Structures are given as C-alpha cells and as structure tokens.
C-alpha cells in the first residue's frame, strides 16, 4: 500500500508531487532543495549552506516516515555547477559516516528557484 509522507519540517511541495512516498518498505523522497521550511525561502550562502539545508530537509522527511540516514540506499545529487561538487560532498558525506549509499551526481543547466543543489533520496527498511 502507498503511504504519503508529509512534514512541516521540510519545504512543502511546490508542484503536483509529494514530499515522499512509501511503498512496501521503500521510501522515495522527492528532490529536496535548500528551502528553509520555517521561512519558506532559499537559505542564504553558498553551496555549503545550501547542502546543509537540503540534508536537514531530507532528515526531517526520513524522521517523519520512521527512517534514518542509515536506511538510505540511493541518492541522486543535482548541481548547478560541478565546481561545487567537492564542497557538496563534504557536507553530504557527514550524514553518511559509515556505509554510504549508492549515488549519482550530475551538473544540470538550471535548478528550481536558482538553487545550487537538489538531492533526491531512496531509503529501505
């Protein structure tokens, strides 16, 4: 059965999608951008601050669904510029100190709201 996951501790969806969907013990988290849910705006700063907020948003959704970063099996990282890869990777890696998930990282032409990073996540129980 499909379960819709929603929390006020992560940004509300800005389109026709859910923050996350859980099906058969697998959690699919929509791409998270660095919007602070408390103020509804993109956080100030560069790639480090933006990646930190993205990971906070992912953690909030994981928590709401009863998962942790340890349950994450796959991430897809979208960057506005591959020059930001190293700094993004440092923040991202801090969330996965052991047994990091599989991952892909791409540079894309543009991201919503002009942000520098977006990360989607899959977790399994």
Q: What is the pTM of this model?
A: 0.97
Q: Does domain 2-124 have CATH number 2.60.40.10?
A: no
Nearest of 62, 121, 60, 61 to residue 92 by alpha carbon: 121
pLDDT digits (tens, 9 = 90+) for 79-116: 999 999 999 999 999 999 999 999 999 999 999 999 99
pLDDT digits (tens, 9 = 90+) for 48-85: 999 999 999 999 999 999 999 999 999 999 999 999 99
Tokens in use for 8?
């006020």
Domain range list for the chain: 2-124
């Amino acid at each position: 059965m499909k379960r819709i996951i929603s929390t006020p501790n992560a940004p509300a969806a800005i389109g026709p999608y859910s923050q996350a969907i859980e099906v058969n013990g697998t959690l699919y988290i929509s791409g998270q951008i660095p919007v602070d849910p408390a103020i509804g705006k993109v956080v100030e700063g560069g790639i480090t601050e933006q990646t930190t907020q993205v990971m906070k948003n992912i953690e909030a959704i994981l928590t709401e669904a009863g998962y942790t970063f340890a349950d994450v099996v796959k991430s897809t990282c979208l960057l506005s510029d591959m020059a930001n890869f190293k700094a993004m990777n440092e923040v991202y890696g801090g969330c996965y100190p052991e047994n990091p998930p599989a991952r892909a990282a791409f540079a894309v032409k543009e991201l919503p709201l002009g942000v520098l990073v977006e990360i989607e996540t899959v977790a399994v129980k």
